[in-house]
Amino acid sequence: MGRYLVAATDVAAGDLILREDALVAGPCQNAKPVCLGCLKPFDGENYIRSSESEDCHRCMGCQWPMCSPACPGLQDAKGLTGHTDEECAALSAAGPSGRRVMNLQARTPLYNVIVPLRILLLEKQDPVRWKAVQRMQSHDEVRRKIASVWQANQLGVVDRIRGEFGLQHFSEEEIHSVCGILEVNAFEVGDGLRGLYDRAFLLAHDCTPNTSHADDETRALAVRASVDIPKGSLITLSYAYTIQGTLKRREHLKESKFFDCCCPRCSDPTELGTMCSALVCPRCGRPAVLPVDPLKADSPWRCSAGLADATPWPAVKQAVKQAALPAAPCPGYEMPAAQARELIDKLTDEAEAIDPNDVAGLEAFVAKYSPRLHPNHYHLLGAKHSLSQVYGKVHGYLIHQLPDDLLERKLNICKDILRVFDILEPGVSRLRGITLYELHAPIMILTTRHFEARSISRKDLRLRLREVAACLEQAAHILSFEPECSSEGAMGRAAQEALQRVRQWQ
């Protein structure tokens, strides 16, 4: 595993494990333009025009877009996110390079060079930070063998720094290593930004992590325990999106972090009993088609229904038992790995093409693929997660306008996905906090309507109010750890206010 962190003492869920400023921060690859000083995107009223003919103010030297002449990130003394004289000089070496950034709303590879350049400049600007970055792995040997990765960095970063900017004193090997350090160790922070951190990079990966993390407007990163962590236990976070199937998670980790994940979840075909990748068997009709060996990309997929006694996988036994599947085994259905991958890729393309605010499109996707996928399949979970948030918030589906059947739909969706989140992202996790907040609303409104219609008793009313209060109490606690300026932080405050009102009604 290399280097990693363990708990020096018992850590309780919600405890702060570490908080630290970024060693360096800046735009992600192929990001939309941001101010090089404060790193804010050019949207809304977030910037000023320098003249009628200019879309925005530009640095007097390199001509890269800036939010204003008074940007607090100009000459930032910390050098964390600021646009320094040294950076300006480097970007200006071959002329006003920022003039090539014309469309403030379009993604551009020009910004790929900013963070690598900021790291390289640390060697003279801040040797202490430079030394801290050099502790991080770049996996150059592995990355060099992946032509697409190496060539993209060569053209997009190395050739620009050494060619366009004329900074020949940085060697190709040095720049490639910096690119590798970023790919392996950077955290995504803010809106389309990435940063390196002195200690957080040591956290090991696990597809069911025991920590969660959040960053604030200063790019400071806070890592908290999401569940109780006993003394001596490994401290983990996820480098991948947890609500994704094993095949896609391991593919992402291999391509972007350059290792093969063999964590307990990846090693278990049922993904800890959640069946998040299971397909419906076309022969017996049961949602139990799983990879025989999930750690092998070329493993065939086989129907596991009726194999509760024969399988070596404890989670399969439990999943079969819970689903009350017939004891008779399926008559030998098997799917080649290539066919399974083709289906998953097709589902991925369709899911990504849906606007996350399109209620009808999301519901159509769920209806179309529910007969072919396990109810907990991660593509259905993703669509349901979006529906849990848009029901009640988008035009035509505002919460107090929803009829009872759609309120019931939102309520059931929230409960369905919470059962999976409780396993894959348990405890103090952002996903659980948001979903618990979304769950309280349909329960509260349905309860109010039913009581006013005298279709429930006062006893039922008290029971339902207790359920609402429990949702809000957990949501307020979880989301209280989110940055105040974030939408999740605002949701946490709203949950606390709603909880106070519910307690008054009780």
- Is residue 119 domain-shared with residue 86, that is, in the same domain? yes
Please tell me the predicted confidence (pLDDT) of residue 95.
78
Give the span between the Cα atoms of 440 and 321, in whole angstroms.
31
Task: Say which CATH number the domain at 211 has.
Answer: 2.170.270.10
Pick 53 or 207 by higher pLDDT. 207
- Is residue 161 domain-shared with residue 228, that is, in the same domain? no
- Is 306 inside any structural domain? no
| 73: confidence class by pLDDT, cuts 50, 70, 90 | confident
Please tell me the predicted confidence (pLDDT) of residue 305.
79
- Is 90 inside any structural domain? yes
- Is residue 162 domain-shared with residue 222, that is, in the same domain? no
Out of 210, 238, 266, pick the residue that ends a domain. 238
Out of 178, 196, 214, pick the residue that ends a domain. 196
- Is residue 91 domain-shared with residue 234, that is, in the same domain? no
Give the span between the Cα atoms of 56 and 48, in whole angstroms.
6
- Is residue 420 domain-shared with residue 490, that is, in the same domain? yes
- Is residue 13 domain-shared with residue 31, that is, in the same domain? no
Please tell me the predicted confidence (pLDDT) of residue 72.
82
Please tell me the predicted confidence (pLDDT) of residue 406.
97
- Is 80 inside any structural domain? yes
- Is residue 403 domain-shared with residue 482, that is, in the same domain? yes
Please tell me the predicted confidence (pLDDT) of residue 2.
84
What is the average per-residue pLDDT within 426-448? Answer: 96
Burial of 89 by CB count in 10 Å (0-12 exposed, 13-18 middle, 19+ buried)?
middle
Give the span between the Cα atoms of 197 and 34, in whole angstroms.
21
Please tell me the predicted confidence (pLDDT) of residue 97.
79
- Is residue 210 domain-shared with residue 150, that is, in the same domain? no
Query: Which tokens go with 221?
Result: 């990163």
| 53: confidence class by pLDDT, cuts 50, 70, 90 | low
Q: Fill in the amino acid letter for 291.
A: P
How many of the other CB atoms lie within 10 Å of CB of 504? 7
- Is residue 67 domain-shared with residue 187, that is, in the same domain? yes
Count how many domains the chain has. Answer: 3
- Is residue 207 domain-shared with residue 119, that is, in the same domain? no
Please tell me the predicted confidence (pLDDT) of residue 220.
92
pTM: 0.89
Query: Which tokens go with 184?
Result: 């392996």
What is the average per-residue pLDDT within 310-329? Answer: 51
Please tell me the predicted confidence (pLDDT) of residue 403.
96
- Is 368 inside any structural domain? no
What is the average per-residue pLDDT within 435-444? Answer: 97
- Is residue 412 domain-shared with residue 498, that is, in the same domain? yes
- Is residue 46 domain-shared with residue 168, that is, in the same domain? yes
- Is 356 inside any structural domain? no
pLDDT by residue (tens digit) across 163-185?
Answer: 988 899 999 999 999 999 999 99
| Range(s) of the domain holding residue 124 | 24-196
- Is 318 inside any structural domain? no
Please tell me the predicted confidence (pLDDT) of residue 311.
44
- Is 401 inside any structural domain? yes
Indicate the SS3 state at residue 502. helix
Indicate the SS3 state at residue 232. coil
| 217: confidence class by pLDDT, cuts 50, 70, 90 | confident
Query: Which tokens go with 63?
Result: 């001509």
What rounded mean pLDDT belongs to the chain? 90
- Is 372 inside any structural domain? no
Please tell me the predicted confidence (pLDDT) of residue 306.
60
Please tell me the predicted confidence (pLDDT) of residue 50.
57
| 312: confidence class by pLDDT, cuts 50, 70, 90 | very low
Pick 53 or 497 by higher pLDDT. 497
pLDDT by residue (tens digit) across 239-275?
Answer: 999 999 999 999 999 999 999 999 999 999 999 999 9
Beta strands 211-215 and 204-205, pairing class: unpaired
How many of the other CB atoms lie within 10 Å of CB of 232? 10
Out of 219, 238, 257, pick the residue that ends a domain. 238
Find the radius of gyration of the CA atoms of the chain: 25
